[in-house]
Amino acid sequence: MQGSNENFQAIKDEILKHKDELISMPQGHSVVSDNTLTMQLSPWRKQLIEVYANSILTTPDSSKQDIEKWGKEVSGLLVQLQFPLDVGLHEISYYRNSIGEIVRDEAIRQELSITEFYSIISEFDAVVDEAVQIVSRSYMEEFHRTIEVAKYAIDELSVPVVQLTKDTGVIPLIGEIDTNRAQYLLLNALDQGAELKLSRIIIDLSGVSVVDTMVAGQIFKVMSSLKLIGIDSVLSGVRPEVAQTMVNLGIKVEGKVYSSLRKAIEHKKLVD
């Protein structure tokens, strides 16, 4: 970077001198109130302004490392607070303009040459552009990670083992059964069946509208796995259209089958 380090240091100091003012300055967000943002994002804004100010003197590589660390942290915060990506990008753009004006005014006051001014602005713009890319990328990565965690929790809750009696439980299945959900079904059946010390589990299909070879295969896999750990399993709630589909597909039903959950429970009582 050309020019006097003293001049550049003075510009950096001028930016930092306005830090508190910049942090609390209303920005006119359309999706979140300025008061909420100031309260939630003040530490983040402070770091951003410091990174921008330091870019006046530091090397491009150092500035890139600083902005990357900041960008990943703030992306996680935005997702945690459930703020849209627009909030982060708006903040970056706002401080580009505000700090750019400080740099311009200070450059005029110091009578810097066009070359010196261009050198400072180019470095500053490079850091801002890097911030936009990092925040956009990190936000989407964090957002998808959060969605996957939520989906995992929902899928896990969607195949619970409900204890009916001391030794009997039921797994009420509702909706479509895909490969992932079938895996949760297997894990939950084995883990909770063993934990609850069950000897019999009823897999109720009353809420399942479609059964194909994949679904049937996964269900029978669960039943076979349960048998290996000493738990008998039966099917209940097989509706006529589902039964017809299974026959047409040539699916061989393994184990006992009941037309309703009530009949499966009643049969257990008669046996006992």
- Tell me the per-residue pLDDT of 130-139, one tens digit each, with 9 for 90 and over: 889 998 998 8
Pairwise CA distance, residues 185 & 173, whole Å: 9
For residues 112-126, give the mean pLDDT: 87
Pairwise CA distance, residues 32 & 34, whole Å: 7
Q: Alpha helix locations (H) across the chain?
A: 5-17, 19-24, 34-54, 60-80, 85-110, 114-157, 179-195, 213-228, 240-248, 261-271
CB 100 within 8 A of CB 121: yes
Calculate the average pLDDT of the chain: 82
pTM: 0.53
Structure tokens at 153: 């929790």
For the cut 70, the answer to whether the pLDDT of residue 269 exceeds it is no
Pairwise CA distance, residues 241 & 210, whole Å: 9
Pairwise CA distance, residues 90 & 81, whole Å: 16
Q: Are strands 257-258 and 162-163 parallel, antiparallel or unpaired?
A: unpaired
Pairwise CA distance, residues 36 & 215, whole Å: 48
Q: What's the pLDDT at 158?
A: 57
- Give the model's confidence band at 1: pLDDT under 50 very low, under 70 low, under 90 confident, else very high: very low
> Locate tokens 């951003």: which residue?
48
